[in-house]
Amino acid sequence: MLPWTRRYPSCRGKAATEMSRLTHINARGEANMVDVSAKPVLIREALACGEIRLQRATLDLIESQTVAKGNVLAAARLAGILAAKKTGELIPLCHPLPLTHCEVNFEIPRSRDRIILRASARIAAQTGIEMEALTAVSVAALTIYDMCKAVDKRMRITNIKLVSKTKRAL
């Protein structure tokens, strides 16, 4: 029995077996950073998406660039890219990675009830990239929320997910 399963009975049995295969948990049940030094350097790309639901009036302000804090989408794009570059500092067990590309884009559907966010990230490395894309989407959405919270108290950030992750030889 793994030591930590004594404290968490719900983690015994099948769940404990599955959790013992988690790459960031060692044999003693402690969190650790994965050693990727033996892995090959590959081109890795990831795409993540999410959305922020808001009122039409809020979208009108964003599009007309009349939100008091400034250009919302420009700020959110920069915040997302900067956050992707700092993912290794924000998520404790992520490796710090030198991104080769990161892009954050926005789409406003015809329903005009939300902004869809998409972030792509690329790197030539031994590990990673999905956390960087997810972080970019998350922080871009949080930036929109922060810049518009004074005018829209009903905003909701939702559906943040990894869409794809690929890797190929250099």
CA–CA distance, 130 with 137 (Å, rounded to integer): 11
Quote the CA–CA distance of 79 and 83 in Å, as a whole number.
Answer: 6
Q: Which 3 state secondary structure label does DSSP give 166?
A: strand
Sequence-distant (≥ 6) Cβ neighbours of residue 131 within 8 angstroms: 87, 91, 94
146 part of the active site: yes
CATH number of 42-168: 3.30.70.640
pLDDT of 32 above 90: no
Q: Domain-by-domain residue ranges, the chain?
A: 1-32, 42-168
d(CA 46, CA 2): 34
Q: What is the mean pLDDT of residues 114-127?
A: 97
Percentage, residues of the chain above pLDDT 90: 77
DSSP string, 76-140: HHHHHHHHHHTHHHHSTTSPP---SEEEEEEE--TT-SEEEEEEEEEEEESS--HHHHHHHHHHH
To which residue do tokens 């404290």 refer?
Answer: 7
Place of tokens 């924000």: 90
pTM of the model: 0.85
Q: What is the pLDDT of residue 30?
A: 86
Residue 10 has what pLDDT?
Answer: 47
Q: How confident is the model at residue 108 (pLDDT cuts 50, 70, 90)?
A: very high
pLDDT of 64-89, one tens digit each? 999 999 999 999 999 999 999 999 99
Catalytic residue among 35, 60, 113, 146: 146
